[in-house]
């Protein structure tokens, strides 16, 4: 492992960015967004996506995809 290449990779990371975390599930999918800035994390938003359990799997997956896309914006 080359420490120079690791330092070089770290230098390429933007100093501010948003990070999306997902807790996947077919009945409830949790999501959270944090901001990484100046070596600190801060809360931005969170929520739960719950497609109707009565829908078939393909419709629930499409629902999740649509809602996650809306969160990403």
The string of pLDDT tens digits covering residues 38-47 is 889 999 999 9
Tell me if 31 sits within 8 A of 50, measured CB to CB.
Answer: no
Model pLDDT, residue 15: 75
CB-CB neighbours of 50 under 10 Å: 15
Please give the backbone phi and psi of residue 59, each rounded to the nearest 5 degrees, phi first. Answer: -70, -40
The string of pLDDT tens digits covering residues 7-18 is 566 566 667 899
Is residue 42 classed as helix, strand or coil in its secondary structure? Answer: strand
Please check the confidence at residue 19 and state whether its pLDDT lies above 90.
Answer: yes
The string of pLDDT tens digits covering residues 20-55 is 999 999 899 999 999 999 889 999 999 999 999 999
Q: For residue 14, how many C-alpha atoms fall within 13 Å in the half-sphere facing its CB?
A: 6
Rounded Cα distance, 55 and 39, in Å: 43
């Amino acid at each position: 492992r080359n420490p120079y290449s690791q330092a070089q990779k770290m230098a390429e990371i933007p100093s501010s960015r948003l990070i999306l975390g997902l807790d996947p599930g077919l009945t409830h999918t949790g999501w959270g967004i944090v901001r990484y800035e100046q070596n600190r994390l801060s809360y931005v938003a969170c929520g739960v996506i719950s497609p109707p359990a009565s829908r078939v799997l393909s419709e629930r997956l499409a629902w999740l995809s649509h809602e996650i896309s809306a969160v990403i914006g």
